């Protein structure tokens, strides 16, 4: 089954809009990667300052290939890169062991 990677980003209130704009401007950056299955950016509603970046992959190998290729290239660059919107980050890894979809009527 698939694997899920969740990047928990600590984002101060004044940086929320910046983070969301940066993700919006990168639309399409991961969608064509081999083994990519799903992406969601989750905004906190209450009780936390952590955004969750949810990605789902066919395999760990597909995720690692993206990390070492397109992801690495996107995060490298010259000294003119903007300051990160997040003040901290943790990556959580999961295997999908059960799943369900809505029943068709």
Residue 6, pLDDT score: 98
CATH number, residue 46: 3.30.70.100
Number of domain units in the chain: 1
Question: Going residue by residue through the chain (105 aa), what tens digit of pLDDT does each one get?
Answer: 899 999 999 999 999 999 999 999 887 778 999 999 999 999 999 999 999 999 999 999 999 999 898 666 655 555 566 788 888 899 999 999 999 999 998
Q: Is the residue at 100 inside a domain?
A: no
Residue 29, pLDDT score: 79
Q: Is the residue at 104 inside a domain?
A: no
Q: Is the residue at 102 inside a domain?
A: no
Q: Which of 101, 7, 3 is nearest to 54 (CA)?
A: 7
Q: Is the residue at 35 inside a domain?
A: yes
**Chain centre distance of CA 48:** 18
Residue 82, pLDDT score: 78
- Residue 45's domain comprises 3-76+84-95
Global confidence as pTM: 0.84
Residue 60, pLDDT score: 96
For residue 58, give the DSSP letter: S
Residue 76, pLDDT score: 56
Residue 66 class from Cβ within 10 Å (0-12 exposed, 13-18 middle, 19+ buried)?
A: buried
């Amino acid at each position: 089954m698939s694997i899920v990677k969740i990047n928990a980003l600590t984002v101060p209130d004044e940086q929320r809009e910046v983070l969301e704009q940066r993700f919006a401007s990168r639309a399409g950056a991961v969608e064509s990667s081999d083994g990519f299955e799903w992406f969601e950016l989750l905004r906190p509603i209450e009780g936390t300052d952590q955004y969750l970046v949810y990605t789902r992959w066919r395999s760990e190998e597909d995720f690692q290939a993206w990390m070492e290729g397109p992801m690495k290239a996107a995060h490298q660059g010259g000294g003119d890169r903007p300051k990160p919107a997040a003040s901290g980050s943790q990556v959580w890894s999961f295997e999908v062991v059960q799943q369900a979809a809505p029943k068709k009527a």
